[in-house]
Amino acid sequence: MVLAIVGPTASGKSALALEIAAAHGGEIVSADSRQVYRGLDVGTAKPSRAERERVPHHLIDVVEPGERYDAARYQRDARAALGGIAGRGRLAVVVGGTGLYVRALLDGLDLDAVPTDPDLRARLEREAAAGADLHARLRSIDPEAAARVDARNVRRVVRYLEASLITGGVSARWRRADAIPALRIGLVPPREWLRERIALRTREMVTRGVLDEARALVERGIDARLPSMSAHGYVHWMAHLRGEIDLERAVALTVRDTKAYSRRQMTWFRRDEAVRWCDPATVNAFSFATQALAGAA
């Protein structure tokens, strides 16, 4: 049995997944595109060591921040993890806010079907370096693809635009194959409730040592422009460490970016008609998920 818990950042997905997995003897498969990187713990709200000892977690701390990791690799790794969990006869709880990862895993997107053109990609990279607004160009060609990618994640914008220019719309080229049946639960709290949670969590990151974490990454030579560093906050924490902005400004920018990201997450997940939505501000999410599991058994 596979249970997927999706929704925007700071909505309580990880806590619910941990509670459900612990109650049902399950294992957790992360669907977070930044928790795969080692050393990005506080800034990505990664489960603690104690939580990972309580319940087995997969697809966390997979690669170094300087390594490339994409949806196709995630699809292979996560499907292998699901196979192992099924072999042990346990409940698999997929949890995360990276919509492309969730779809790649559960819907069997044929990511290899999207073509590439190295020359075109190199040209787009040069245009991006020169300041061209490639995200706006992508939005004009394929609005659905543009909604999936953060405009500041230049590498992904270039990749999506490359594929869209070749195919006339990358969204149309993804096809479903070998889908994995899963019960999908979505957390959708009120906007103001979520905003308050995001602001609180960002300040908690400071007290928990996110600046020390960012400093350690800088000392390792990790470039702020790497895909791994596009996790919300790191670019601002690093700017603060360089003396370019004060701490309050770094906090405010991180809150702003995280709020914007949460809106993009909901745009993505609301398209999935299989998701059963729950407002964690008014409904006991654990009871909601438990009843859904019982009905799907």
- Which CATH number is 115-173's, of 1.10.10.10, 3.30.1130.10, 1.10.20.140, 3.40.710.10? 1.10.20.140
Q: Smallest Cα–Cα separation from 143: which of 268, 47, 227, 23?
A: 268
- Stated pTM of the model: 0.82
Q: Which mean pLDDT values do the consecutive 10-residue runs of the chain (297 residues) have?
A: 96 98 97 95 95 97 92 94 97 95 89 70 87 90 78 82 73 65 97 97 97 95 83 90 97 96 91 94 97 90
pLDDT of residue 152: 80
As a whole number of angstroms, the distance between CA 240 and CA 231 comes to 16
27-30/92-95 β-pairing: parallel
pLDDT of residue 32: 96
275-278/27-30 β-pairing: unpaired
As a whole number of angstroms, the distance between CA 13 and CA 188 comes to 10
Strands (E), 12-59: 27-30, 57-58
Per-residue burial over 236-267, b if 16 or more Cβ lie within 10 Å, else e, is bbbbbbeeebeeeebbebbbebbbebbebbbe
pLDDT of residue 128: 87
Architecture category of domain 2-111+175-296 in CATH? 3-Layer(aba) Sandwich (3.40)
pLDDT of residue 168: 66
Listing from the earlier edge strand, what are the strands of the sheet with 27-30?
Answer: 57-58, 27-30, 92-95, 2-6, 183-187, 275-278
**Structural domain spans, the chain:** 2-111+175-296, 115-173
pLDDT of residue 147: 77
As a whole number of angstroms, the distance between CA 231 and CA 153 comes to 10
8 contacts 202 by C-beta, under 8 angstroms: no
pLDDT of residue 175: 53
Give yes or no on whether 2-111+175-296 and 115-173 have one common fold: no
